[in-house]
Structure 1
Amino acid sequence: MDSLLCHELTLALGLARQAALISRTVLSEFFLAQQKSEVDSVTKSDFSPVTVADFAIQALLAGTLSEAFPDDGLVGEESADELRGNPRLLQQVAAVLKVAQGWEARDENHVCDVIDLCKGEGKGRTWVFDPIDGTKTFLKGKQYAINIALLAKREGRGSREEIVSVVACPLLDWTLGTGGGGEVINDASVDKTGRGAVIYCVKGHGVFVEPLFDKTEEEKPRQIPRHAEQVKTVEGLKSVTCWQSLDSGVDTVHENVAEKLGMDFPGNDLLGWVNRWVCLALGVGNTTVWVYKKRDRKAKIWDHAGAMLLFKEVGGKITDVDGKDIVLAEGRLLDQNFGFLAAPEAVHGIVLEAVQGAMREKEETRAGGGSI
């Protein structure tokens, strides 16, 4: 790939593979410990479990990137507060970090220190990452992803833009999207070969996918065609959503939108947002809508930054459900937007009209005293 960002991309790809190795190691140990009822975990404020892998991967990413690019900002999901108060868990994190190659912590305090490099909001050029997106499914041996993104200031504007995206999906089949468009996946669609997928892009240079593990010299990265550009009517829409594990979204709106557009629902059904963006990029789906239950609910930057670029690079358009562009301002939340709407650019306006119509109907039902 001919790009000034080749160094950043190459480093991020190597880190994605090392992080995936950590996740696979921890997952094997977790299942073994589960059988013996010896599982250590803590709980975050949103009640999702945090695993050894979350902390170890964030330490690997933050430690390596801070040394390689000392002037860059870092934003990550985890804080080391829980680790500092749980010596046994900290020992487990430090131990599993030894699986990775290329970066070593000086001691356990160093592990906590590099994790906490990511507690800020990020200014200027910033790396954003989610060490494990889909922790709940990860702990069940189902789909999860490791998200690494690089953002940079947009010239003449206060917001930032995505310039590099690398996503590791250790349980996703890297050949997805080559089956003629008939595939439909969910969190249980696990790659039986064990090779997984890494999908990546530099802005303006297209999207590529290759095996995450056991890549041979003969296997070349596969470039994903700009498939979303080929969709000109709503008949070509394919849904990606989160249905079985619906929590923060409004189910009636999402189902109503699909009905208005004649789209199969739920279609591709994935818990993790990063996996949903990957599904859209690969062409397994091409449309996703997400309306939060409350207006004050804001998305977290590490669930979307970078991964959204993958879909844009194949011809997709992404806004919020009010039709506004997604703003990656400095901060940890996407606080200038409400929800998400991603669709092929040619029909994005039609999908937006359906979404806003469904939202109005919901409000009218609520005002009339009906059930939602």
Structure 2
Amino acid sequence: MSYSKELEIAQLAVQRAAILTKRVFHEKAKGTVSKDDKSPVTIGDFGAQALIIAALKANFPDDEIVAEEEAEGLRGDATLRQTIWDLVRETKLSDAAAESALGGAIKSDDEMLTMIDHGNSQGGRRGRIWAIDPIDGTKGFLRGGQYAVCLGLLVDGEVTVGVLGCPNLPVDDSVSLDGSMASGQTDEEGSKGVLFSAVLGQGATSRPLTTGALAPEAKSISMNPISDTSAACFCESVEAGHSSHGDSAQIAALLGITKPSVRMDSQAKYASIARGAGDIYLRLPVSASYQEKIWDHAAGDLIVREAGGQVTDITGSRLDFGAGRTLKENKGVVAAPAAGHAKVLAAVQEVLGKKAAQI
């Protein structure tokens, strides 16, 4: 299958949801530093999820959906529900044909709640299942840094279509990663906002995010070959609770990397290394019991692999998206260009092996 319709709908759905998240940030998020029940992230999460699911259900009514949010809390909070509903009904693509392709508009706040709750699939290895993270990178979103609207299609447990909307990444694929991208990235209109896409076996692309039809200038993207790992740039999570910064520093030293790591939120890290703005993404375990969610990795995993990379866990196993709502069969993430992945993985295993031996 070409998955051309799935790709088009996924791209347009992510693009429309990104419009909502940007509006939430500019109207409601400035000065907010936490995620409570009425925070901008909560409003944006629910609104973006409703819009994406509505498009999927209009076009692929029999597909299952795994998504982060559920609407139960909104049913008892009329004020919050109304705030989200106002955003959802007012958010449309400016191009009529593109908006029409996504299907009919959500007609009421009750229908909006129903759409949100369609994300309750338990996942699995059979059939077509979409994985959604409506705002990946909570704190990046709040600080005006990096976040992503994420959508991936699993077919019998294999990621087949992946789309990432990254509103605060520079449009230019040649702009290298640096620490300044972690915050204050929302002010230059027209120079930021990228839609990354991939279909299994068909490569990966980037194009500017728009407010209407898809931008026509999709560009093929590929990872840097990094023949010399000492010259590599690696990125990791901002939050120490998401990835072990100390272990990453030891791994970098073992690889001869002298550049400081670039810390940024969300699957924007996958997108950045896929287009060669960085080289390596490490997400190292901080807890033996923590299980990564499939919506936090599905789209990025495919985009990196289709751009010439390899993505595994710290044991060298491929990420298993068919095990349910979480990556319970995996620990950590090691993403790097295919030719250099084995060397990076060996360094990861050496550092983490020494750590285990000391406990």
For the criterion TM > 0.5, the same-fold answer is yes
User: What does residue 167 of structure 1 align with?
Assistant: 164
Structural mapping, 1:229-248, within 5 Å: 230-242=225-237, 244-248=238-242
Name the larger-Rg structure: 1
Q: Supply the distance in 2 between the matched residues of 1:215 and 1:73 (Cα, whole angstroms).
A: 27
1:307-344 residue CA offsets vs partner (Å, 9 max, x unmatched) = 11111011111111011121111411000001111112
Q: Write the distance in 1 (CA, Å) between the matches of 2:321 and 2:249.
A: 28
Pair 214,264 (structure 1): closer, same or farther in 2 beyond 3 Å: farther
Letter in 1 for 2:193: G
Letter in 2 for 1:240: C
Tell me the CA shift for residue 125 of structure 1: 0.7
Deviation at 1:286, TM superposition (A): 1.6
Task: Map 1:1-372; keep pairs closer than 5 Å.
Answer: 4-31=2-29, 41-42=36-37, 50-101=41-92, 102=99, 103-122=104-123, 123-153=126-156, 160-176=157-173, 178-179=174-175, 182-185=176-179, 186-188=181-183, 190=185, 192-194=188-190, 195-213=192-210, 220-224=217-221, 226-228=222-224, 230-242=225-237, 244-272=238-266, 274-366=267-359
Larger RCO: Structure 1 or Structure 2 (Cα < 8 Å, ≥ 6 residues apart)? 2
CA drift at 1:138: 1.0
- TM-superposed CA distance for 1:162, in Å, is 1.2
Separation in 1, partners of 2:205, 2:35: 37
1: CA distance, partners of 2:214 / 2:12: 16
CA distance in 1, matches of 2:343, 2:149: 32
2:95 counterpart residue number: none
Instruction: Indicate conservation of the 8 Å contact 1:281/1:314, yes or no.
Output: yes
Matched residue count? 344
8 Å contact kept, 2:12–2:214: no
AA aligned opposite 1:166: V
- 1:58-96 deviations in whole A, cap 9, x for unaligned? 111112211210111111111112211211111111110
Q: Is the Cα contact below 8 Å between 2:144 and 2:184 reproduced in 1?
A: no
The CA distance in 1 between the partners of 2:7 and 2:331, in whole Å, is 30
Amino acid at match of 2:6: E
Q: How many Å separate the matches in 1 of 2:281 and 2:215?
A: 35
For the 8 Å contact 1:41–1:52, the answer to whether it is kept is no
* Alpha-carbon contact 2:196-2:207 (below 8 Å) kept: yes
Contact kept in structure 2, 1:255 and 1:265, CA below 8 Å = no
| Distance in 2 between residues matched to 1:183 and 1:107, nearest whole Å | 42
Moved over 4 A (4+): 214-219
Q: Secondary structure at the match of 1:341?
A: strand
Tell me the CA shift for residue 232 of structure 1.
Answer: 3.1
Q: Does the 8 A contact of 1:241 with 1:266 survive in 2?
A: no
Q: Give, as a single letter, the amino acid of the residue that structure 2 aligns with 1:299.
A: E
Q: Which amino acid aligns with 1:264?
A: T
Conservation of the 8 A alpha-carbon contact between 2:24 and 2:40: no
The letter for the 2-side match of 1:291 is: L
Q: CA RMSD in A?
A: 2.5
- 8 Å contact from structure 1 (residues 165, 200) kept in 2: yes
Q: What amino acid does structure 1 have at the position aligned with 2:262?
A: N
**Structure 2 gaps, min length 5:** 93-98
Deviation, structure 1 residue 213: 2.2
Matches of 1:76 and 1:218 in 2, distance apart? 27
Q: Distance in 1 between matches of 2:142 and 2:49?
A: 17
For normalisation by structure 2, the TM-score amounts to 0.88
SS at match of 2:118: helix
| Cα 1:217/1:205, change in 2 over 3 Å | closer
Unmatched tracts of structure 1, length 5 or more: 154-159, 367-372
